[in-house]
Structure 1
Amino acid sequence: MEQLTIKTSTHDYPVVIDQGLRFKLKSFLNKDYPSIYIITDSNVAPLYLDDVYNALKANYHVSYSIVPAGEESKSSRVYFDLMTQLIEAGVDRDGLVIALGGGMIGDLAGFVAASYLRGIDYIQMPTTILAHDSSVGGKVAINHPLGKNLIGAFYPPVAVLYDVETLQTIPFQEIRSGYAEIAKHSMIHTPPFWEQIKPVTLDESLSDATLIRDLIHGINVKAAIVERDEKEANIRQFLNFGHTLGHAIESELGYGKMTHGEAVAIGMLFAMELSEQYFSVTLPIEAFHNWLKRNDYPLTLPRLSVNQLMTRMKRDKKTKNQTIKMVLLKTLGEPVIIDMEDRSLRQQLEAFLEKMVIR
């Protein structure tokens, strides 16, 4: 079992990585909760809901909701429906929410917990590789039609329980999505560990040992940054490398058309190109592009409106005074936040998208 502790301004919480944690859940509850509410999705429920429910039902009053799988469920409608269901289930201020699923469920259920009765405890039980990033750090949110994660809060869980057995059933697209975030961590960390990720092939040859190694490395990067900047006032924004354009592409295509990690991978390519031009440096763009291609990441896009993407990028949480801020790399392991001038950014974005357009 691997375990580390995340320190926050309100409380510390453990991140536990092991096999079969869903069967041992009771041993990780630090309170005698009068009621527990599990929130999961239609993909995860048939696989793991019974395991979690049965691990708790003998000792707790347990209820659950199953929302449709997909980013579309991170909406105000689904959020409000869940609030109603918690009220009807009689969950009070001493209750506990369990977020059982990938990043979408973690964000959605975490925001429900953050805002229900002004905040109740919740546990993250991530079931995807991507959620190694989103489950740690306490950022919870839902989407708005005009932008991703625009409605949310900083609200740390009381525990993150990462049962690696649940990764055995995720589709290839989700493996790909999660490894994009691991690649991101490998490039912003000091020292960088991109050379460790570069040879990884995301197919049947991906061993549990390699996966667990990379998960732990990624979580450690996230934890170290979050502890130094809990509320994203400074260096935590480095974790948004690739996300400014990535989020804009996700929103512009419509949630669900491309996974978060796939969009972020394209955003990272763009940020690396900008970095080379801005700092006159050489980054492993070709090696990263080849890694993406070898692992079947989507590297083409329909023709998108540059004006619309720029507008969406200006709604990014880093943006101030309508100035788009980009996380760039002076070199691998040295991220910086740069204010981008509209005209130059537009020209470079147009040139970048032209290379990505489906002919």
Structure 2
Amino acid sequence: MNRKHLVTKSCTAALSLLMLASTSVVCIPNSINQPVFAATIKRSQEPAGQYQINESFPIDEKDDNPRFDTWSLLDNINRKFYGFKGQGSVWVHSNNPKKFSLYINGRNIKLTKVGRNKWVKLDISKYTKNGNNALQISPQKGISASDKIDVKLPYPVLIDNTKKYRDNDTFKAMDKLIKAEIKNGYPSVQIVVIHNGQIIKRSAYGRVNAYTQDGKRIKSAPKVTNTTLYDLASNTKMWATNMAIQKLVSEKKLNIDAKVNTIFPTFKDKASDKIKGKTDLTIRDILMHQAGFPADPQYHNNNYDPNNSNKRKKDANPVYTQDRNNILEKIIATPLQYKPGTKTIYSDVDYMLLGLIIEKITGEREDQYVENHIYTRGAS
């Protein structure tokens, strides 16, 4: 996929039309009390796969049980799950099902016909709603320590309903605007609109690899389809690296006006460098994409020729590496394309370097630092 992204007002306007779609609130009476059953399978045929709820109940009250919530006993019997109105199922297995009650959004699903030690798939589509739903497992009186119930609740499934919305005026306007953008140079667009568990719009526009590295349009490139894979690049720049940098600055562990060589002493100009500026390069320069580095030196591609990016040449890339332990050395060896601070050129190298700075200061891999200190519940 072409990495030169174009942003125009009219394309933004096309996407903003999505905001015109209406939403609705669904209210379901909570007086339903009805058993629902489906085919059973033996314990040896335990359903495989990934589930948003996959737990055994009741949760034992033990000092060494991290699943037991001593602050809110209700949390030990209640679980939230995401779903859509009109769909959903839950797998249940128990050695004594008569000792438990199962509720979906407050509606009792009786387990009286569930056999012992058999997995049963229950249809809960009548009781689900769009968004967050509630599952509750309540033990009955006289339950023994050996009584258990296992619950597996799958993730929701998207339903294709694009035919119904094919003549939607909003989507027609979107098609018109995006096609105009493609005609005037936008590389490609792939759109999926999902509303309450239904795919109501799925379209593809433009061509794969629509431009050469030097910006020439390739009119013979294959068309984008609904199954074309895109490189969702640069998301971690914002949601990992920038977040980590902000946290370190707020904690006074990092000064963005500090020179890079105060963190990495070897980060300096060499006498042979045609364009110098690494010795005085600051973290602020990097954050502003004014560090002087090329957009993409393709460290991963040994056959990339920096002197002729349109042709592959065996072993032509002097900064090629497959070892993350060598990447700082390769960044230092990467020639600058302009004097830092004099231009603004978006560069992947800038954020690779920022990631290394984060790891040096924190002593952790960037992914682990972000997970442990930013996105983990209760992280400081």
Q: TM over 0.5, yes or no?
A: no
The TM-score by the shorter chain falls in which range? under 0.3
Based on CA coordinates, which of the two structures has the bigger radius of gyration?
Answer: 2
Q: TM-score, structure 2 length as denominator? A: 0.21
| Structure with the larger helix share | 1
Q: TM-score, structure 1 length as denominator? A: 0.22
